Amino acid sequence: MKVWQCLVCGFIYDENKGDPEHGIAPGTKWDDVPYEWSCPDCGVAKSDFEMVEV
Amino acid sequence: MDKQPVVIIGSGLAGYTVAREFRKLDADTPVWILSRDHGGFYSKPMLSNAFAQKKTADSLLMKDAEKMAAEIKATVRSHAEVTAIDPQQKNIVVNGETIEYAKLVLALGADQIRLPIQGNAANQVMTVNDLDDYRRFRTTIEGKKSVAILGAGLIGCEFANDMATAGYQVEVIDLAPQVLGRLLPAQSASYIQHKLEGEGIVFNLGTTVQSIDITANGMQLTLANGRTLAAEAVLSAVGLKPRISMAASAGIKVGRGIMVNNLLQTNFPDIYALGDCAEVEGRVLPFVMPIMTAARALASTLAGKTAEVHYPAMPVAVKTPACQTVVAPPDANAVGEWKVEDCKDGVKAVFNHHNGQLLGFALMGSAVSEKATLAAQLPVVS
């Protein structure tokens, strides 16, 4: 399981925790997060959501 | 003849996002991005919570100007000082050279407000408004043990939490009677204040700094309430002031910011503005989400498909690990009242119109889990 960080706002996506508030179950790999998902903090779409591995 | 370029002044989030979104819609029109600094891309919201994680300015730089230029297929000019805009001739003067534009985008950002302070160390007050500032700030406080922060707003509280986590003794001073004054009802403010005090942060509220003077061990701050306190460094985070002077001298209408309609268009049809320098239909909206929304709309307009900017509900996360917080402040003119309820390990505050419509909220601790549900009930901003 990996932890990713939004390049724009610093939001952390932790694969272990997922993003259950927005329908992403805990344990969801970044690759499996749907294309329509956007960063809950800054609204960047996944398509241009450049994540860096922390 | 080559097409005239879209020229963007400013290489912050606003400038680069417009460029990137425009490039998705138009592969050919040349795009110029003029940067007053190095022109590299970094995340500005991370500057106020990078210290405790020992992040250096270099590690915060995501991509340098060259990489950004290649990625967006744009010309990025670093250290480019724009000295004049001629809206009639549609050109600008950059480092002495005249460049013609088809469309001009002002993404100039904002300056930190400086409070008038007396004393022989008043000029040592630092601000962190960009990556270069962060670099200086880090160098200055290296090896020191205490810092005073002017401003208990969002950025002030984030810095305070970050510095306290990094082991500094932190004093925060603000004229407002509560922390995060503009975003929270009093009960929520006192909740987060107590959490931050638990990290060792001392708040001096309802007062201001009158003078800062050099002492043998650093500096002494004298407050209007008579208290004096010692600090080795002083950081100011009291708010932002849109950069408007260049636009004003070109005859572009300005108010608090550069005035634009909901197409982000100034009084000159080929000149647009967005981000921290812009006043969109009377509103200066801070934070990241409005910039992203505005950039997408503007990119579409620039590519020939006119798009008005419509903001969704835009909750903001306050990056204070001592107290997880998400706020969606009600509009300044909103009529209604706050209703605050304590929950286990948190506070939930909602701002309702008397007809029951939710207009804003502030969630702390465990209450943060209700963010998505509540955000969906907020009205569209404009």
Of A43, A50, A52, the CB nearest to B289: A43
What span, in angstroms and rounded, lies between the C-alpha atoms of B250 and B237? 30
B117 CA: distance to closest CA in chain A (Å) = 32
The pLDDT value recorded for residue A52 is: 67
ipTM of the complex: 0.79
A37 CA: distance to closest CA in chain B (Å) = 13
Domain B6-110+240-302 has CATH 3.40.50.620: no
The pLDDT value recorded for residue A41 is: 81
Please indicate whether, in this complex, the C-beta atoms of B372 and A21 are within 8 angstroms of each other: yes
Please indicate whether, in this complex, the C-beta atoms of B43 and A11 are within 8 angstroms of each other: no
Please indicate whether, in this complex, the C-beta atoms of A43 and B372 are within 8 angstroms of each other: no
CATH of region B324-375, choose from 3.40.50.920, 3.30.390.120, 3.30.413.10, 3.40.50.300: 3.30.390.120
- pLDDT range class, residue B286, cuts 50, 70, 90: confident
Classify domain B114-236 at the CATH superfamily level.
FAD/NAD(P)-binding domain (3.50.50.60)
Of A7, A11, A44, the CB nearest to B292: A44
pLDDT at A11 over 90: no
What span, in angstroms and rounded, lies between the C-alpha atoms of B49 and B47? 6
Please indicate whether, in this complex, the C-beta atoms of A42 and B312 are within 8 angstroms of each other: no
* Domain boundaries of chain B, sorted by first residue: 6-110+240-302, 114-236, 324-375
A48 in B contact zone (CB under 8 Å):
yes
pLDDT at B165 over 80: yes
The pLDDT value recorded for residue A40 is: 83
Over residues B8-50, the pLDDT tens digits come to 999 999 999 999 999 999 999 999 999 999 999 999 999 999 9
pLDDT higher for B146 or B380?
A: B146
Over residues B209-246, the pLDDT tens digits come to 999 999 998 999 999 999 999 999 999 999 999 999 99
Average pLDDT, chain A: 84
pLDDT at B161 over 70: yes
B99-102 long-range contacts, Cβ below 8 Å, gap at least 24? B99/B5, B99/B7, B99/B32, B100/B4, B101/B4, B101/B5, B101/B6, B101/B7, B101/B32, B101/B270, B102/B3, B102/B4, B102/B5, B102/B6, B102/B29, B102/B270
Give percent above pLDDT 70 in chain B. Answer: 99
Over residues B327-381, the pLDDT tens digits come to 999 988 889 999 999 999 999 999 999 999 999 999 999 999 899 899 999 987 7
Of A9, A50, A52, the CB nearest to B45: A9
A52 CA: distance to closest CA in chain B (Å) = 9
The secondary element (H helix, E strand) that includes residue B181 is none
The pLDDT value recorded for residue B156 is: 98
The secondary element (H helix, E strand) that includes residue B382 is none
Of A21, A42, A52, the CB nearest to B289: A42
Check for a shared fold between B6-110+240-302 and B324-375: no
Q: Which residues contact B111 (CB under 8 A, 6 or more apart)?
A: B129, B240, B241, B243
Backbone angles phi, psi at B361, to 5 degrees: -155, 165
pLDDT at B276 over 60: yes
Q: Rounded mean pLDDT of A42-51?
A: 72
Considering only CB atoms, which chain B residues are within 8 Å of A40?
Answer: 371-372
A7 CA: distance to closest CA in chain B (Å) = 6
Over residues B183-192, the pLDDT tens digits come to 999 999 999 9
Q: Which residues contact B294 (CB under 8 A, 6 or more apart)?
A: B14, B264, B274, B275, B278, B280, B309
Considering only CB atoms, which chain A residues are within 8 Å of B373?
Answer: 21
The pLDDT value recorded for residue B361 is: 97
Please indicate whether, in this complex, the C-beta atoms of B43 and A6 are within 8 angstroms of each other: yes
The pLDDT value recorded for residue A50 is: 65
Q: A 19-38 residues with CB below 8 A of B?
A: 21-22
B29 CA: distance to closest CA in chain A (Å) = 21
Considering only CB atoms, which chain B residues are within 8 Å of A43?
Answer: 288-289, 292-293, 312, 314
Please indicate whether, in this complex, the C-beta atoms of A48 and B62 are within 8 angstroms of each other: no
- pLDDT range class, residue A7, cuts 50, 70, 90: confident
Average pLDDT, chain B: 95
Over residues B304-323, the pLDDT tens digits come to 999 999 988 888 999 999 99
pTM attached to this predicted model: 0.93
pLDDT at B1 over 80: no
